[in-house]
Amino acid sequence: TPLSRRAYVGISLAGTWAGDGYARTYFGVDPAGAVRSSLPQFANPRGGFKNYTVGALGNYMLRGDLERGLGLYLVGAFSQYQGDFARSPVVSIAGSRNQFYGAVGLGYTF
């Protein structure tokens, strides 16, 4: 949403669905993996609703306007794992159910 000819903000909402194979490959811990990692076994996680994400984007044009010029960009988001993805020891012990990220960048629109 433009706030002026030099600035805008936006928000996003998203959800991710993943299958059983993805859940087993990236969030499962088989017996051999449990020995190597010291994490408990979690051999058959089920797929389903993996996570939701809420994000925001902001832009301010340092030179020019939104149609042309040099701009400063800010991005941030929060994501939370759900279901077996959150219960996996990869997340619950070695990681975190809550994920945050942010970025700052410069861009030129021409």
User: According to the model, what pLDDT value does residue 82 have?
Assistant: 98
Q: How far is it, in rounded angstroms, from Cα 27 to Cα 41? A: 11
| Structural domain total, the chain | 1
Nearest to 99 by CA among 39, 49, 53, 37: 53
Any domain includes 1: no
What is the rounded CA–CA span in Å between residue 72 and residue 101?
17
CA dihedral 86, 92, 94, 95 (to 10 degrees): 50
Asked if residue 2 is part of any domain, the answer here is: no
Domain contains 46: yes
How many helices and strands, by DSSP H and E, does the chain display? 4, 4
Question: What domain range is 60 assigned to?
Answer: 7-109
Residues in the chain where the model's pLDDT stays below 50 = none
pLDDT of residue 28: 96
Residue 20 located in a structural domain: yes
Specify the pLDDT at position 65. 87
